[in-house]
Structure formats: C-alpha cells, structure tokens
Amino acid sequence: MGLPEIIRVKLSSETAESISLTPVVVQELAVRDLVEHMLGVTGKDEPRIREILLRGTMVSGASRFRWSGWKAEPEAVQQLLATFPDPDPSRPFAAERCVRAILRGGRQAIDIPKEAASHKGLFRRETFWDVLMGVITGPAYAGYSYRDRADRYVREFTPAESGRVRAGADGVRYSTLRDQIRTVAFAQAELYVTRR
C-alpha cells in the first residue's frame, strides 16, 4: 500500500512516573510530519520506517504516537525519504547559521540556544555567543540531525579554549546557564547549523 497524505494519530505523554494519567490527544498529521519524527530515531533507514508504519506506534521525545498501522510499499517510502535532506560532509561550518551549542565532556551536557547566549549587556562589546563562535574554528562535520533540522559539527577544546569560554560566561543573561558554564566540566562543543 502507498502512503496516505494524512494519518489520524493519538498522542500521549511518555512520562517517567510510576502511575500517571495523561490525556490522549487525537490529531490529524501529515504522513511527512510523522516520518520526520521517525527520522530523528531511525535516520533514512527505509526498512525500519516501514516496520514502524506497520507497527503503528512510536515514541519520540516525551510523546507516544499511535495510529492504525499499514504495510507501506518500499518505493513510496523511498520517494518520501528523498524529500528530506541528506548528510553532507562537504558543507562548511557557518557560524552565522549556528542556532545551538551543546558543551560536552563532563557528567552533564550544557545546552545553549543562541538566543539565550546572544544578550549584550550595557557595558559589553561582545556576547557569550560571540566568544564561543570566536573560539570555534574548523569544527568537524558530524552528520545531519533530523530532530533538529540542522547539520551537526563537533569541535574539541584545548584547556586554554575551555578557559576562554568559561571567562565569557559573564555575558550570559540567565544565572543557571551562566553557573553551569563556569562550573561544569566540558571538553567539546556540538554545534547545530541550519540550512538555508
């Protein structure tokens, strides 16, 4: 069977509590949107996507999706997958389109959205984001994130670079994020760059 344009999906929360009653929301979802949620987990694995479509259930993030499963034709799924971007290691890093950075290396990752780090204080010439992008040169391509709709890059820090990033934390508006950058160990940045 081919792919329908619209699928009736039941959405519920996948909370990690022992017993909880969460409402189930019924929503009509374009098949492309449903498959896009799958791509965050499966990548462009056509047999696995067909298996999930047949099974009629999937967990993405904190949500469980359920629908009446059906057997999808491989050609129809392949055609749909062709409409999504592919990883492209030849894409250069574009700091101006970087929308998110995750500092990693310790027990806790530090997730930094650009808008949270781009605040310029009254007496500051550069934002924390400016400092971070100034330290990051030549990151390595690490694939495409379907969940984030962005290319991923990774850059290892030298101890001096980590220190410079920490020193720039004064420019972060939110105290919790500022404290994390100052105190949590990190050795690399994972960067998310949107395509035009």
For 162-171, the pLDDT digits (tens) are: 999 999 998 8
Task: Decide: 186 and 104 in contact? Cβ < 8 Å.
Answer: yes
Per-residue model confidence (pLDDT) at position 85: 96
Q: What is the pLDDT of residues 37-81, one digit of tens each?
A: 999 889 999 999 999 999 999 998 888 999 999 999 999 999 999
Residue 34 phi, psi dihedral angles, 5° rounding:
-65, -45
CB atoms within 10 A of CB 123: 5
Handedness of CA 114, 117, 119, 120 (dihedral sign): negative
pTM to 2 decimals?
0.85
* pLDDT exceeds cutoff 70 at 107: yes
Q: ∠176-118-191 over CA atoms, to 5°? A: 85
Mean pLDDT of 127-149: 95
Per-residue model confidence (pLDDT) at position 15: 64
CA dihedral 19, 38, 49, 73 (to 10 degrees): 110
Q: ∠175-181-183 over CA atoms, to 5°? A: 95
CB atoms within 10 A of CB 118: 14
